[in-house]
Every structure is written in structure tokens, then in C-alpha cells.
Amino acid sequence: MSLFRNGEKAYLLLADGQVFEGRSFGAKGTVVGEVVFTTGVTGFQETLTDPSYYGQIVTQTFPLIGNYGINSEDNESAKSYVSGYIVREWCEEPSNFRCEGNVNDFLKEHNIIGIWNIDTRRLTRIIREVGVMNGVITTDDVYSRKEELLTKIKEFTVRDAVKSVTNTETLKYEPEEKKYRVVLFDFGYKRNIRQELVKRGCEVIVVPAYTTAEEVKALAPDGIMFSNGPGDPAENTEIIANIREIQQLGIPIFGICLGHQLMALANGGKTEKLKYGHRGANQPVIDMESGLTYVTSQNHGYAVIGESISPEIGHVSHINANDKTCEGIRYTGVNAFTVQFHPEAHGGPLDTSYLFDEFITRMKKGDD
């Protein structure tokens, strides 16, 4: 595929005024969002359909995206939640026996504005050095609208993220042989979390993000899963208050990503925004109990401050091997454990699936 194929011009404008000129793919128009990068070599379709990317313009650091195409089975949700998409090069003619289309057609179908043929290595360096910043992708002439667009960039912030992605209905998914019932909170959950539970014999009831303790109790679950999701965890004050009551039900709880952060906030912990976050399928995490280091898949811009968790409440169980940030907490006062990374995403590829097995074990003990 030639980098010089015909295509309409597109521009990326960053909050500091820098402009990247490239080519348009996907939808046309103008979009504002938080510019982030992810280091995954594969998994671009999972990235595009992960609700945790709500409000963000995603940069792929790997230079060629889409060589194995798009298929209908690998979506993590029913639609794409990214605000915009940035790649160095995209593959027009993918080759894979499961391929049903290319990434350009996928972006058009979901009305996602993309830009390609820019220096993504330079862009990634800027984000690493300065930190994540807002930006605009546009197929209009950026120079004639620069001041107007910079004002939009300055005013933009990701708000009401969980409220924007959660389902308002309660949905049920049955395994072939039911052993347990799990209530899965939809803070913007990835389908593979549900699938990992179903294949272990769990009937999964997916509930809206604002479901109360009383409503959970009425469903009589054996376990509760707090899912991943987008945005600043601290803005979810209603959900945090609900979690304080839900954890008192005594039902085993497993939290992932945003679910990990919300659980910490409900127990007096604090969160912080990272300079450029952890996004990709190659994040090293140390299990403090075993001493083993696992390769994990991650997607988050916030982290729990490990020191903010009182020893009487719980302890940090996992840390990031690169920056030593908190990657997991085991609680002592309530029956719960949480992790920042995604064990359902198979980064190792199966390294951290033991966490789902531990969740099953905790539910099994509840039956004894």
C-alpha cells in the first residue's frame, strides 16, 4: 500500500498550537478530544470498541494498523467510543481468514474521524514529555480556523463518561451449565469480561452503572463484578456511594480498571491522573505475593494512590514494574479484590486469568 494514495487532507491540532498535516480516512469533519497513545501491536479493533476510550483521540504507536482486518466477533462493545483515530499507515487490503472488512470502512460505518500519514513517533514523544493534552482532528483548513479550534480545545473536558456509555437495561447471559450467578456492573464493560465469566459457568446479569445495593440483593448473586469504564473515577459520586453499601452485602467482589478505582474511592482511597497513562498490551505488573511479573493489557489514565489505602482496609497486591503505581488491592474488611489491568485481555496471553479463577473460588466458598 502506498503512502501516497490519493486522499483528502486532514489536520491534527494540539492544545499547544502544534499542527500535524496528514491524510483523512474514516469519516469527514471536525472532532475534539483528549489525545492519548496506545502501544498495542495487535488489538486495534478491541481498542476501537473499548468504551474506556470515550472522549479520547487514540494514537496507535505501531506504524501499520489493520493488516488483519475487521471482523464481527472481536468487538468489545456494540459501537466505537473513540472520538478520533490516528495512525501512521492503514492497510487497504487486509489478509486474514476471519477478515470481513478494513479499518477505513469500519471508521466510516461508526462515524469516526481519522488521520493517517503523520509522524506518530514524534506525536508520541510529545505526549510522553508534556503529558496527554486535548486536540482536534479536522478535514477543514485548520489554519483559517486555528483560533476558533484552540478555544474549543481549551474548553473541552471528558464529562459524564460512565453515564454516556452504560446500558440502561438489565441483560442476562446464560452459560451451558450454570454454577454461579454474577452481577456485572456496566461502567463501560468489555464483552470479554462477560465471556470469561460465562465460560466458567456463570450466569451473568449485566446491570446499569447506577444499580443500588437493594437492587443487587434482589438479584441474589453469588458474586459481583465492577467493570472497566472511561473518565475521571472521582466524578462518579453516586456510584461510589452505592459501592459503600454494596460491599456490605458480603458477596464476593472483583473489580477491574475503573471498578478497581471506584472501589478504592469508596473505601477512603484517592486517585490521581497519570502524565500519559498506561495503554497497550505490554504493561509489566508485579504480583507482590508471588513476586512474579506478568505481561498485562491496560487502558487507563488514572491510578489509585496506593498509600491512600489504610492498612486496616486493605493492601496493595500488584504494582506496575515501570513506574511502581498501584495495580491491585486486596481488601481485608470486605470480601473484595481489584486490579487495574485487564485479565480478560490475555496480554500474556493467559498470565492473569488466575484472577477469574480466584473469583470463582471465592464464590464457591460462599456455597460451603
Q: Which residues are catalytic?
A: 257, 342, 344
Angle (CA) 136 139 141, round 5° = 90
DSSP assignment letter at 107: H
Q: Quote the CA–CA distance of 230 and 52 in Å, as a whole number.
A: 4
Which one, of 342, 133, 197, lies nearest residue 258 by Cα?
342
φ, ψ dihedrals at 139, nearest 5°: -100, 0
- Decide if 235 contacts 264 (C-beta within 8 A): no
Residue 199 Cα distances to 174, 178, 194, 263, 354, angstroms:
10, 10, 9, 25, 14
Q: Taking the C-alpha atoms of 243, 246, 248 and 254 in order, what is their torsion angle to the nearest 10 degrees?
A: -80
C-alpha cell at 273: 491522573
Q: Quote the CA–CA distance of 336 and 321 in Å, as a whole number.
A: 23
Q: Quote the CA–CA distance of 159 and 157 in Å, as a whole number.
A: 6
Q: 3-state class of 209 per DSSP?
A: coil
Residue 137 Cα distances to 22, 52, 167, angstroms:
10, 20, 28
**DSSP output for 211-277:** --HHHHHHH--SEEEE----S-GGG-HHHHHHHHHHGGG---EEEETHHHHHHHHHTT--EEEEEEE
Look at phi and psi of residue 53 and say left if phi exceeds 0, alpha if psi is from -120 to 50, else beta: alpha
Q: Quote the CA–CA distance of 46 and 75 in Å, as a whole number.
A: 6
Q: Quote the CA–CA distance of 231 and 222 in Å, as a whole number.
A: 29
